[in-house]
Amino acid sequence: MARNNFAPAAEAKAPDFISWHVANRGEKAFWTKIGAAWFHRDRKGISLQLEVVPINGRIVLRTPLDDEKKEPGA
């Protein structure tokens, strides 16, 4: 019988920030969620994971709302 040498899966940590692409069109701003960010253990840096990379507008990092923290895969 083969041994299972894999470590147990680490529990996913909720992101410290949600990354948003913000595009201004006239007086309106359109916000699209594009990824997430986590503090490093020593809190001296941040890892940013983007699902898409916008070519215009700006990227904004915001702390997640309580309901965003509960989303699976967030």
Name residues whose C-beta falls within 8 Å of residue 36's C-beta, 6 or more positions apart in sequence: 15, 17, 18, 19, 48, 49, 74
Q: Which of 63, 64, 50 is nearest to 21 (CA)?
A: 50
**Residue 41 included in any domain:** yes
Stretch (H or E) spanning 66:
helix 66-69
* Structural domains in the chain (count): 1
Whether residue 60 lies inside any domain: the answer is yes
63 pLDDT more than 80: yes
pTM score, whole prediction = 0.71
Has residue 12 been placed in a domain? no
Residues 1-49 pLDDT 10s:
555 555 555 567 899 999 999 999 999 999 999 999 999 999 999 999 9
Instruction: Write down how long the chain is.
Output: 74
Q: What sign does the CA torsion over 53, 37, 60, 70 have? A: positive
